[in-house]
Amino acid sequence: MSFAESRLREFAGYTKRPGAVWNGAAVLLGALFMAWPAFYNGFPLVYPDTMTYVADGRIVARAIFLHQLSDYYGMRSFFYSLGILPLHWNVTLWPVAALQCLLTAYILWLVVRSFQPRQTILPYLVLVLLLSLFTGMSWYATLILPDILGPLLYLSIYLLVFARETLTRAERLTLYVISWWAITSHATHLLLAAGMCAILALLLVVDRRAFRRRVRPVCEVAAIVALAVAAQLALQSYLYGKPSLNGDRPPFLTARLIADGPGRWYLEKHCGELKWVICNHVHNLPEDPDNFLWGADGIYQNASSEESLRLEEEEIPFALATLRAYPREQISRSAANFWGQLKDFGFEDLDPSSWVLEQFGTVLPQARWSYLRSRQARNALPLDLLTSIQFWAVMVSLAVISVFVPLLWRRHSSRIVGLGVVIVSMAVANALVTGTLSMVEDRFECRVIWLAPLLAGMCVLDWRSKAAGSRK
């Protein structure tokens, strides 16, 4: 019997073996490991966007279930807001953190089991403990944002496409639901999931031998993306009367192009002949995209409803005009932004915010004092130390990957290759999308960079599993 056949038999009989209670206990223990940053902090971690996600849930729910429509529902993902609403009810955020830790622990269990079907518990717990202590995984699992759902989406795609035979029907259905919610929870997740479908389709064309085996799961992932798009269009159409994938989205790209320089040059040269609303501010354009959007004197922050709408409508024409006028300069700046985003994955964005504290009074009034006692509110989190620890964890992981990938490649380890394709492409694409279309922030890459140490751990586990199999 070949090693591959023995592995398939192990997976086929997995659910028939006793030990489901122990497996569930391991997942719960893994979730508990991940929750340590919230316990250490004394409160789930929050970010300015957290307050809008929490506040918007009730407004959207009233519109859907009570038909109490409003003129404005917010600018964040309505699906994430609705998903967490039954857990917090504007009272406490602890159940939301618990759910995110549990989902992360469950997905990681399935990933580890795909490489180690027997005696899964010990390597799983060791891996979760290492990732929780030395990477940002646990910090983003306890951060009340949809950021953690991105990595869970990418790992779900790996499981559905490259490790489908290791999943039961119930597990596949669960992954479908998690993937759908993750895609609808953030615009970046939708873009990257669509890009992942394109990459997988290209792999099918290149590797004809895998076509029959992989074409169905790839089509299933594409169907999940399509259902997420349909849900976004339907909800936006119901709330605003017109279909949209973005809703009331800030002009991130406009802010980025102006901060890069070519956008500013174009406006300074052509605003005399244009009637764009941005031209009303051509003499005081900020150099920081964050100031353009959210600064006290920021253009978007102080724009009227009509001006905000026009800024959004003018964004694509402005971007295309800037690219036509300064293609080489803008590509150079975008490449620099991409590289800057790829290598910036610290914890600095988790520092306290005065705006968050102000919002607690209306969004989470009963939790305000608990937040005030937290280390985050007191600016007592060791963010520089955490950044340094994760940096070296990533560097060591890249070294481990560079050593083990050639060994596994020679052994035709298709599953580790699939996981590597998903993780590497998504980490790079995440930096490309956020750095070039929005702004360079540590948080954007920090939320996915922990996948590199995960890949290193899976390389070691797969090598050990195959070495043990060859000795039988």
Q: How far is CA 251 from CA 184, 272, 299, 307, 343, in A?
A: 20, 22, 11, 11, 25
| Predicted TM-score (pTM) of this structure | 0.92
- Residues 75 and 130 placed together within one structural domain of the fold: yes
Number of domains in the chain: 2
- The token duo for 463 is 């090598």
Please check the confidence at residue 147 and state whether its pLDDT lies above 50: yes
Q: Please tell me whether residues 324 and 350 are part of one structural domain.
A: no
Which structure tokens are listed for 341? 């985003």
Tell whether 356 and 264 lie within a shared domain. Answer: no
Both 183 and 217 in a single domain? yes
- Alpha-carbon distance of 344 to 69, in angstroms, equals 41
Q: What whole-number distance in Å separates Cα of residue 429 and Cα of residue 11?
A: 32
Encode pLDDT of 172-193 as tens digits: 999 999 999 999 999 999 999 9
Asked whether the beta carbons of 50 and 367 are under 8 A apart, the reply is no
Q: CA angle 74-69-81, nearest 5°?
A: 40
- DSSP state letter for 295: S
Contact indicator for 453, 136 with CB cutoff of 8 Å: no
Q: How many C-alpha atoms does 329 have within 13 Å on its Cβ side? A: 15
Query: What's the CA gap between 459 and 404, in Å, rounded?
Result: 6
Q: Which residues, in sequence order, are bridge partners of residue 45?
A: 143
In this prediction, residues 375-392 reach a mean pLDDT of 96
Percent of the chain, pLDDT > 70? 92
DSSP string, 376-400: TTTT-S-HHHHHHHHHHHHHHHHHH
**143 DSSP β-pair partners:** 45
406-451 confidence digits (pLDDT tens):
776 666 677 888 999 999 999 999 999 999 998 889 999 999 999 9
Q: Which two tokens stand for residue 448?
A: 């996915």
Mean pLDDT over 82-106 rounds to 97
Taking the C-alpha atoms of residue 100 and residue 86, their distance in angstroms, rounded to an integer, is: 14
pLDDT at 414: 78
**pLDDT digits 0-9 by tens, 321-374:** 999 999 999 999 999 999 999 999 999 989 998 889 999 989 999 999 999 999
E-assigned strand segments in 5-155:
none
Clarify whether residues 332 and 365 are in a common domain.
Answer: no
Among the ranges given (124-128, 196-200, 249-253), the one the predictor scored with the smallest mean pLDDT: 249-253
Same domain, 355 and 240: yes
| Claim to verify: residue 232 and residue 288 sit in the same structural domain | no
Q: Is the pLDDT of residue 16 over 60?
A: no
Q: For residues 61-75, give the mean pLDDT.
A: 86
Is 50 exceeded by the pLDDT of residue 3?
no
Question: Phi first, then psi: what are they for 45, rounded to 5°?
Answer: -70, 140
d(CA 54, CA 274): 39
Looking at 290, 311, 340, the residue that finishes a domain is: 340
**Do both 98 and 243 map to the same domain?**
yes
Say yes or no: 92 and 229 in one domain: yes
In this prediction, residue 15 carries a pLDDT of 46
Q: What is the pLDDT of residue 119?
A: 86
Do 273 and 161 fall into the same domain?
Answer: no
Residue with tokens 């380890």: 413
Q: 139 and 154 in one domain?
A: yes
Residue entry with tokens 């009570």: 66
Give the domain-ending residue among 340, 356, 377. 340
Domain limit, last residue, from 293, 319, 340: 340
Question: pLDDT tens for residues 130-144?
Answer: 999 999 999 999 999
Name the residue range of residue 335's domain.
252-340
Give the pLDDT confidence score for residue 1 in this predicted structure: 44
CA distances in angstroms from 187 to 6, 11, 77, 80, 184, listed in the order given: 41, 35, 8, 11, 7
- How many C-beta atoms lie closer than 10 Å to residue 93's C-beta? 24
**Among the ranges given (267-276, 346-355, 441-450, 457-466), the one the predictor scored with the smallest mean pLDDT:** 457-466
Which residues touch 465 (CB under 8 Å, ≥6 apart)?
115, 116
Q: What is the pLDDT of residues 283-308, one digit of tens each?
A: 888 888 888 888 878 888 888 888 88
The pLDDT of 163-171, averaged and rounded, is 94
Mean of the pLDDT values across residues 371-385?
96
| Cα–Cα distance for residue pair 7/465, rounded to 1 Å | 10
Contacts of 90 (CB under 8 A, 6+ apart): 54, 55, 58, 363, 364, 365
Which H or E element spans position 23? helix 20-34
Mean pLDDT of 216-241: 93
Q: Which residues of 141-160 are buried (b: 16+ CB within 10 A; e: fewer)?
A: bbbbbbbbbbbbbbbbbbbb
Q: Are residues 271 and 122 in the same domain?
A: no
